[in-house]
Structure 1
Amino acid sequence: MAAYITFSVISLHRGMPRYLTQQQRWLKHDAIAASRCRIGILGFGHLGQASARVLTTLGYPCSGWSRSQKHVEAVTSYFGDDQLGDFLARSDILVCLLALTDLPRGLLDHNLFAQLPKGAGLVHAGRGQQLNHQDLIDALDTGQLGHAIVDVTVPDPLPTDHPFWTHPSVWLTPHIASETHAESSVKVLLDNIRRHQQGRPMNGLIDMKRGY
């Protein structure tokens, strides 16, 4: 996941969607310095924190938003509904990694996009149900958003006539942000078996009340 998010952020930051659409190099390079491109990670759990750690090593100022405050070195933590607006206002590229709960269904909509800096980028690798497709298209067409990289949709895959396929400011990726690798998965499984046998807490437990 961190590798996908890093690739997506750098692609939007460096203007790669524009480059690929035009199929030519810019005469004037207008990508802003990494230190001036602020990354906001919406959903600051294990995946969000791992992505932030990679991005900060590349010079990107990062912030994360979650229900409860998190503490990650060199990352500004926002939490709770009261701080969501401040978090969005300083997110030049918004990365959505939220889990699917009742709260964020349809959260990526007109109201949220309007709180981002004009021309902001979006990387959506959370859950398909969180994105309002028409509101995203409207935000791109009006210039409120610059570009969007979308990895998750409902339905998945999209119908062949869906406007995301042909929209010049949308990149679609085939649900590849987080891949399961056999070697690492087996290590996690064996570690949890040992933990269970020893009566220790297992990793990756889901809180059914929270939904993640």
Structure 2
Amino acid sequence: QLAEGVGQDIVNAAILALAFVMLAWHVISASRHGMQAAGEARQLGRAVQEGVSTPWALIVAVALSVLREGAETVLFVTGMITSTGSADLAASSGALAGCVIGLVVGSVAGLVLYLGLSRIPVRRLFAVTNTMVMLLAAAMASQLARSLIQAGLLPSLASPAWNTSQLLPMESPVGTVLHALVGYDAQPSGMQLVFYAAGLMLILIGTRLMRPAPRRPLPA
């Protein structure tokens, strides 16, 4: 097997490393250009509302932003229905019903989020979303350490550093959500904690270095 049987762990580590770099760069670049992009988007929306600009630019931008995720969803559902075969009509019907329910729930959730987020100041919204993405990037760094430990390329340092399986199991709904959002692990190793903290520090330092300097008033 590839790399003495640890090829899958190495591939996973490479994917997680790439994900961390992309998320970290998103946070760092957003700290410098995020407000400018928000201002441009606000100007475009205002121009469309006032009739100065056609809504097609806004429509195309929104369509392109959801095209990738929508295409993946369609392919996934099509493959799932196809794999059940024509004989398993109940499974196919259940999959289609789930798609319809998911579409309705997603539409309602999107509307609720829009009505709520539209009333939040843009600066505060960017701060919250950047914090969430930063924690997600740190979670990717922690999982990267886990893959490297499984591949035998890093020591675990302490395994586990703690065990909260009885208090909050990974398989519970709350544990699953926290694992996806902030990288919660009921039994993390010491190396995972090091990678998590190092990921946060790298992003914070990069954000501080890339943040635009405050404008000084011109001398009279």
- TM above 0.5, yes or no, is no
The structure number with the bigger radius of gyration is: 2
- Please give the TM-score of this superposition, normalised by the length of structure 2: 0.21
Instruction: Return the structure number with greater helix share.
Output: 2
Give the TM-score of the pair, scaled to structure 1.
0.22
